[in-house]
Structure 1
Amino acid sequence: MTAAVLAGCAATQSTPPTFSGCRTWEQQAGAPHLVSVAVLSPELAKVIGVQEISTSRTGTGLAAVQTTVYNCSDVDVVLTMRTRFTGNRGQSEPPSAWKTVFLAPRGQATYGESAISQATDKVAVDINDGNRGQSQFAPGQTYQVPLK
């Protein structure tokens, strides 16, 4: 009987709960070392985080970027990621194609892209929901918030 009463009082949310100690994008947004990353889905910002973004030059001198993202939940998460390229005079080339990135529960993945224009000197990475705006967290489904 007590369990039934407690279950009726449990809080729910529209995204899966995250494990303790995992910093989500919602907590990281605005960090100086991550200003060139944009998470475009508010729901996604509650369950993923960005470990790092690094830029370099390829052997031919083109700009390259690598971004490591991680999943703070116990469910699979599918992302799409792309890179925007700029130079001294604005956009130096079109954005890259969206690439699908799969994050296993509590897993991480690294996304990478290289510029094709020598004029590129800055990059920015966009991260979006892999279901293109449709919630990947079962419509209408709620997730129980663990009691502390």
Structure 2
Amino acid sequence: MNAEPGLYHYTLCGLDDVYLVNGFTRHDTPYGSGVSIEDVAGLHRVIAEDIIRRRARLDGAEVRFLRKELDLSQSGLAALLGVDAQTVARWEKGQTDVPGPADRLIRILYREQASGNSDVRGLIDAMADLDEIEHRRRCFEETAEGWRTAA
């Protein structure tokens, strides 16, 4: 896609299809022309919201963008999703498609962070912790009141 004159093709976010109409200043530097963006954090919030509202499956660049906005490493995101870090790396490289449940969960995690809520993240963290617990024996006993977990 060729940019219209006056648009700025913002590629530093890692996405190929982001163009800015305004909110940036072009200037000359001793090293050539440069661009300053007034509110990068605000811009990234709007980009992320646009990504999570789209109906199309997340592509690799979008997964990477959202992961970075969530301030997670590939292994951190992998732990939350119950996959290994190489799986996340393959998604980000576009080598494999992001499965539907992982796609939805990444969107939910971003939406939750943006809203300042942590209910889902807390639940996912607790579930990830459970995955780390070594399997133990579960014992139950019958009492006069019925069955219960044994001490």
Fold shared by both chains (TM-score > 0.5)? no
Bigger Rg, which one: 2
Q: From the two aligned structures, give the one with the greater helix fraction.
A: 2
Normalised to the residue count of structure 1, the TM-score between the two structures is 0.25
Is the strand fraction higher in 1 or 2? 1
